[in-house]
Amino acid sequence: MDPSMSASSAAHHLVAPAASAFAAGDSEAGEGALWDIWNQVVQYASQTPAHKLDRVIEVVAAVADLEEPATLEVWGNQTTWKELPLLGPVIRESWDDERHTEPFNLNAFAARLTAAGLVDLSVYAIWTLRSVLENSVPAQIYNKNGDQGCKAAAAWFIYAGKTMYAYSKEGKSYDGRAAQQGSDVVGEDWKGYSEARWRLWVERLEEVQKDVVDEDTKNLLQKAMMSIQDVGGNQS
pLDDT at 236: 47
Element (H, E) at 77: strand 77-79
Q: Decide which of 84, 101, 118 is a domain's last residue.
A: 101
pLDDT at 235: 61
- Indicate whether 167 and 180 sit together in one domain: yes
pLDDT at 157: 98
- Indicate whether 40 and 83 sit together in one domain: yes
- Indicate whether 131 and 160 sit together in one domain: yes
CA distance to 25, 159, 221, per residue, from 114 (Å): 31, 9, 20
Which residue range forms the structural domain that includes residue 161?
Answer: 103-236
- Indicate whether 33 and 47 sit together in one domain: yes
Q: Decide which of 68, 101, 134 is a domain's last residue.
A: 101
pLDDT in tens, 166-185: 999 999 999 999 999 999 99
- Indicate whether 94 and 42 sit together in one domain: yes
Please state the domain count of the chain: 2
Calculated CA dihedral for residues 236, 109, 125, 152, nearest 10 degrees: -90
Query: Helices 54-64 and 27-46 meet at what angle, rounded to 10?
Result: 160
- Indicate whether 137 and 166 sit together in one domain: yes
By CB atoms closer than 10 A (0-12, 13-18, 19+), residue 220 is buried
pLDDT at 97: 75
Q: How far apart are CA 86 and CA 35, in angstroms?
A: 6
- Indicate whether 136 and 151 sit together in one domain: yes
